[in-house]
A and B are shown apart, each in its own frame.
Chain A
Amino acid sequence: MFEFTSFRQPADDYFVNNVEDVDMDVDDEDLFETDGMNLTWPGKSLTSAQEYMRGHGTYVDNEEVIASVSGLVERVNKLITVRAVRTRYNPEVGDLVVGRITEVQPRRWKVDGNSRQDAVLMLSSVNLPGGVQRRKVESDELQMRSFFEEGDLLVAEVQAFFGDGTMSLHTRSLSYGKLRNGQLVTVPPILIRRLKSHFISLPCGVDLILGLNGYIWVSKHIKENEREGEEAFDAEAVYSNRNDVIDDSTRLAISRVTNLINVLASRSIPLTDTVLLDAYDWSLEQEGDVKDLLQEDAGDALVATILAKG
């Protein structure tokens, strides 16, 4: 009853079989059976525009839906989208991101969040000293640099979008705010999946913040009871620029985790808490220094172990 000129045989079956299925989701198994049929590149014609709607990563020309990026085709009922296999971060409300202040502007900071434009952090969406909920006064505006200045790293949540698609961040939670006692690692954003929690504590005394924008913060573990409580909101500590004392073994553990993340990212292995834990356990069994993890053969062995655990 339908005709698909652009898809070859296995894909045809897939679409025709599922057309009746009204409330279906994208079904992984079926897509993978078509093995490679769902890969696209710019200019690849996907299907007829009369029967399907175009989504992200596609455009319509001559009544045909055509891919504009290389990646995987996804279909939800009649909507065809292509998810690019490598791209900048596409923000969504509620995402946890790690960013770096690039500019201080009137009543706002600009934050580099690995997205297509710098994000905005309004003065009204940060916690200020002297009470969590209070009015922003002129003196706050004048001393914005004492909270965040250019180059500072912070963890925040995507709050909303402006008309032109710029994301607006907020740090109105005690787990958000300025980052210290650690090191930043950058990976392609697609490697970070949505997890139950993006704050991970590894047993080796290292805390991880997996920003969905591909920025990962690796830092010294802060004990739960030492964290600033809701009542005793301590602006000194939250906006402090000073690192705590970090002992040598913690420094070594931080570099080890950093190297592992770099190795996994260079081989495009998605980073989840279990993968990182497995990787850390594996690295402890290895002889040699932390820096040896970056060697080619160590990386191969690591990836082989991770893949075996699947």
Chain B
Amino acid sequence: MLNAGGYRSDGRRQYELRTISIDLSPQGSGADGSASLTHGLTQVNVCVFGPREAKMRSQTYHDRANVNIEVAIAAFSASERRKRGRGDKRILELSQTLKSTFEPVIQTSLYPRSQIDIYIQVLQQDGGLLQACINATTLALANAGIPLYDFVCAVTGGVHSTSPLLDLTLLEENDLPNVTVAVMPRSGKVTVVSMETRLHVDRFEEIFRLAGEAAKAIHVEMKKSVRDRTEQLVASMQSVGRPPTGVDAGDEY
């Protein structure tokens, strides 16, 4: 796991994160916002639709929007081919975790009786699935122009004997005790702590703190990509004729 030189199996240092790449361009799905995110070899694709008319009347709330999250894991995403249906317990748990993460972050009260649909497609898995899903969903929501209180940035942390590791691969995740932490960077509030293995209580605090810091590093990347995309769109909007912030700008709302 950690060799004599202090390197991990994929050649990273202890606290080193994997390469993050983010694509916020629309992917032809007609979604209101979409994001494609990779953490090393883990890749997820998120499409956000809405806020739109709720399809099921029983699922509407008179005072807020309903957030509906569906996760699909491609059969080819892991090294062993495995088909998971929509009713699979692990997938249901994952989408439930995501739903409870994002419901308080989205300003749902602005859209009563509406529905926000979030479709997550997992294309490759190499550890940090929850982390990738959370980060990609945040980006897709921001890209769809849905009001959020803050970004949610997640990262996994683990421990090898006594040395903490960040952003685990599948290999490390299978063998080491690990925890996924999601924070809202502006306020520093922790929104998710998810642990599927047992972790010694003495190690927990250190990993928890480290993951919080790593999430801030991820936030910088996410913020940059959203900013670049916004800048690009604003530039093309202003390229022709009258800029959108014209004299009658006030009556837009």
Contacts and interface: CB of A to CB of B under 8 A. Distances in A.
Interface in B213-253: 223, 226-227, 229-234, 236-253
Looking at chain A's contact residues, the main secondary structure is: loop
Contacts of A288: none
A155 interface: no
How many residues of B sit at the interface, in one of the four size bands? Answer: 35 or more
A272 B244 contact: no
Contact of A45 (B30, B186, B233, B246): B186
A275 interface: yes
A90 B238 CA distance: 20
Contacts of A270: 237, 240-241, 244
Contacts of B243: 28, 32
B252 A83 contact: yes
A72 B248 CA distance: 15
Given A39-B230, A41-B230, A117-B113, A190 B244 contact: yes
A95 to B, nearest CB: 10
B114 interface: yes
A70 interface: yes
Contact of A56 (B62, B144, B148, B253): B253
Kindly list the 7 A-B residue pairs having the minimum CB-CB distance in the complex, ordered from nearest. A87-B145, A43-B150, A84-B145, A68-B147, A42-B148, A268-B236, A116-B51
Interface of A: 25-26, 28, 31-32, 36, 39-43, 45, 55-57, 59, 61, 66, 68-72, 74, 76, 81, 83-88, 90, 92, 102, 110, 112, 116-118, 164-166, 186, 190-191, 193-194, 266-270, 272, 274-275, 306-307, 310
11 contacts: A42-B142, A42-B226, A43-B186, A66-B149, A69-B142, A74-B249, A76-B250, A85-B237, A268-B232, A269-B236, A269-B240
Interface of B: 26, 30, 32-33, 50-53, 62, 107, 111-114, 142-151, 184-187, 223, 226-227, 229-234, 236-253
